């Protein structure tokens, strides 16, 4: 997803009009943003500078790294809905299940944007390892 | 004194740097991602060593919050 589409998606998800966003940027963050600038950013006609991107991250409680991950497929809204380290709540749930398994309690070191599919793949690997160990 | 954790490398999904798991006998294994660099594995190993203490909390442990805390440090 291009950055413009992400910015549009963020604004629409938060049910803000362009004028309302301009007001937040200018009044609360002392910037000089116009409606035209936001329109150009959202339509990928221009790219916001780091100052504006940082403000987007601050206003919408986003991870700046996710915002800058222009070509990745991670859902930007995930970072707003997840509690704790992981951006995706489904991932957080699966990671919790891995820990709660009384037979083999697992704790990970993984990136924030870990996908549920990655956790499922990891669970298969762990099961294979367990089987191999018990047959050795 | 708890037993020294056994460390192994294994091909893991790219977003997983590694993990540690507690065995039924209370011993702990650390698994590192063989697809990552030696330096990255060293960092992960330190992260996992901190986690070993977390196995003590056992019940009612909120793992996503715990990870948030561990990654802040």
Closest by Cα among A98, A48, A114, A77 to B22: A98
Of B10, B44, B68, the CB nearest to A85: B68
Closest by Cα among A73, A1, A71, A10 to A38: A10
From B46, which residue of chain A is nearest by alpha-carbon distance?
A109
Does B68 contact chain A (CB < 8 Å)?
A: yes
Please check whether residue B52 is in contact with residue B5, taking contact to mean a CB–CB distance below 8 angstroms. Answer: yes
- Please tell me the distance in Å from A48's CA to the nearest CA on chain B: 28
Cβ-defined contact of B15 to A110 (cutoff 8 Å): yes
pLDDT at A113 (0 to 100): 85
**pLDDT (tens digit, 9 = 90+) per residue, B1-53?**
566 788 999 898 888 889 988 877 778 889 999 988 888 888 888 888 877 76
pLDDT at B55 (0 to 100): 58
**pLDDT (tens digit, 9 = 90+) per residue, A22-70?**
999 999 888 999 999 999 999 988 888 888 888 888 888 777 777 776 4
pTM of the model: 0.54
pLDDT at B70 (0 to 100): 66
**pLDDT (tens digit, 9 = 90+) per residue, A58-102?**
888 777 777 776 445 444 444 444 457 888 888 888 888 888 877
- Please tell me the distance in Å from B58's CA to the nearest CA on chain A: 8
Does A92 contact chain B (CB < 8 Å)?
A: yes
Confidence of residue A6 (pLDDT cuts 50, 70, 90): confident
pLDDT at A75 (0 to 100): 47
ipTM: 0.74
Does A35 contact chain B (CB < 8 Å)?
A: no
Cβ-defined contact of B16 to A110 (cutoff 8 Å): yes
More confident of the two residues B61 and B28: B28
B18 chain-A contacts, CB cut-off 8 A: 108-109
pLDDT at B3 (0 to 100): 67
A125 chain-B contacts, CB cut-off 8 A: 10, 12
pLDDT at A82 (0 to 100): 46
Confidence of residue B54 (pLDDT cuts 50, 70, 90): low
pLDDT at A45 (0 to 100): 87
Does A118 contact chain B (CB < 8 Å)?
A: yes
Q: How many CA atoms lie within 13 A of B41 on its CB side?
A: 15
Please check whether residue A111 is in contact with residue B14, taking contact to mean a CB–CB distance below 8 angstroms. Answer: no
What is the C-alpha to C-alpha distance for residues A46 and A68, in angstroms, rounded to an integer? 15
């Amino acid at each position: 997803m291009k950055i413009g589409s992400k910015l549009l998606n963020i604004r629409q998800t938060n049910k803000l009009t362009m004028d309302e966003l301009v007001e937040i940027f200018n009044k609360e963050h002392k910037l000089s943003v116009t409606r035209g600038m936001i329109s150009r950013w959202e339509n990928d006609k221009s790219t916001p500078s780091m100052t504006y991107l940082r403000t987007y991250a601050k206003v919408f409680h986003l991870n700046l790294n996710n915002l800058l991950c222009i070509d990745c497929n991670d859902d930007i809204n995930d970072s707003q809905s997840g509690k704790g380290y992981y951006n995706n709540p489904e991932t957080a749930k699966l990671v919790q299940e891995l820990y709660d398994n009384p037979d083999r309690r697992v704790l990970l070191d993984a990136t924030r944007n870990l996908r549920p599919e990655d956790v499922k793949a990891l669970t298969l690997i762990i099961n294979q390892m367990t089987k191999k160990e018990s047959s050795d | 004194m708890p037993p020294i954790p056994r460390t192994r490398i294994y091909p893991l999904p790219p977003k997983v740097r590694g993990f540690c798991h507690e065995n039924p006998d209370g011993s702990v294994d650390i698994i590192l991602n063989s697809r990552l660099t030696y330096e990255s594995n060293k960092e992960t190993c330190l992260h996992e060593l901190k986690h070993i203490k977390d196995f003590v909390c056992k019940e009612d442990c909120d793992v996503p919050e715990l990870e948030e805390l561990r990654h802040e440090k």
